Amino acid sequence: MTLQQLKYLVALDNYRHFVTAAEKCFVNQSTITIQVKKLEEEINIKIFDRSKSPLTVTPAGERIIEKARSVLGEVKEMKAMVADEKESVKGTFKIGIIPTISPYIIPSFSLDFEKDHHDTQLIIEELESEQIIDSLKKGKLDIGILVTPLNDRDIREIQLYNEPFIFYGSKSHSLVKKKELELSDLQTIDNLWLLKNGHCFKNQVERLCKNYNNKSSIQFQSGSIETLKKMVDKYKGCTLVPEMSVSENESENITFFKEPKPVREVSLIVHKNFTKEALLEIIREKILGVVPDKFEKNERYIRVKWR
């Protein structure tokens, strides 16, 4: 028994004529004839008396059609409810964001969001990527902000922007003195300061700096880009940082890369069953509003059509 078959029953009851009912349902007459017959055979009850013209409904058929109308009405209400759910942004929502993105977008983004959406509370927590993914799947988080792609079938990715990497070194570092860098310049660098294990940014930097050597006697594990920069300033050496982490007074410590620049792709992620499309669209627009215009942004947003 299918919803489509129930729709055909109601149409036949309304018009008492196969041809007219088929026209109103935008299908061939044979489609309605076959589907209604299949339903009657499935439930072993004759719903329509075809020997009379116009069609008449059997006593048992009347009860079935009444129930069909009730079921279709409930389905219609459910679809309306889902539509309201998609457009609603009221409520409390939990967002997980990785620490290498959070300090550079959350202060500006959250202030702008709160100003326009007083009925929405966002609880934002810094977490590592694996924690965000696991929490989304367990329903402990609603939305994540991290670096993609993830290639996880249970997770929907909504690309936001590409953020370039920048070389950050002590003021005496030879690569700081260059006008621009190529990726090949990173292959033999010494004293590279890195984030601690568990941060995807550390993995990205290590992939770019494949043959680095650490000669410093100080081994320091940090979860903060800002702390890494201070370690470079104090103990020399170098690191890579996301462009949004660099301020104007650090111009003597940085060197940009030549095109094509190494970048990280930043995205919103949600569980594949998340339905708050309007909320996603608003958060996406607010984040892109605080990202520098020179960054490559994904201006296209495709809403999921929930049936």
Q: Which of 53, 87, 121 is the last residue of a domain?
A: 87
Residue 231 shares a structural domain with residue 104: yes
The pLDDT value recorded for residue 307 is 47
Beta strands in 64-203 (DSSP E): 91-97, 120-126, 143-148, 155-169
198 lies in the same domain as 254: yes
Q: What is the pLDDT of residues 8-19, one digit of tens each?
A: 888 988 888 888
Alpha-carbon distances of 293 from 161, 164, 192, 284, rounded to whole Å: 10, 13, 30, 15
Q: State the total domains in the chain.
A: 2
Q: What is the pLDDT of residue 216?
A: 55
Which DSSP symbol is given to 262? P
At 245, the amino acid letter reads S
**Residue 103 confidence (pLDDT) above 60:** yes
Tell me: do 12 and 93 sit in the same domain: no
* Percent of the chain scoring above 70 in pLDDT: 91
In this structure, the answer to whether residues 117 and 46 fall within a common structural domain is no
Q: Which CATH number do you get for residue 140?
A: 3.40.190.290
Task: Indicate if 54 and 129 belong to the same structural domain.
Answer: no
With a cut of 60, say whether residue 142 has pLDDT above it: yes
**Segment 231-289, tens digit of pLDDT:** 888 888 888 899 999 988 888 999 999 999 999 999 999 999 888 888 999 999 999 99
pLDDT grade for 305, boundaries at 50, 70 and 90:
low
Q: How many CA atoms lie within 13 A of 210 on its CB side?
A: 4
How confident is the model at residue 84, as a pLDDT?
63
Say whether pLDDT at 83 is over 80.
no
306 shares its domain with 237:
yes
What is the mean predicted confidence (pLDDT) over 109-126? 89
Q: Identify the pLDDT of residue 81.
A: 67
Same domain, 192 and 211: yes
Q: Which of 39, 56, 87 is the last residue of a domain?
A: 87
- What is the DSSP pairing of strand 91-97 with strand 120-126? parallel
Of 34, 55, 87, the residue at which a domain comes to its end is: 87
Computed over every residue of the chain, the mean pLDDT equals: 86
Residue 108 pLDDT greater than 80, yes or no: yes
* 68 and 186 within one domain: no
Span 52-65, average pLDDT: 88
Tell me the C-alpha distance between 86 and 218, whole Å: 52
Do 247 and 105 lie in one domain? The reply is yes
217 versus 238: which is more confidently predicted?
238
Tell me: do 219 and 269 sit in the same domain. yes
Same domain, 93 and 180: yes
Host domain of residue 65: 3-87
- Please report how the helices 18-25 and 3-15 are oriented relative to each other, as an axis angle in degrees rounded to 10: 130
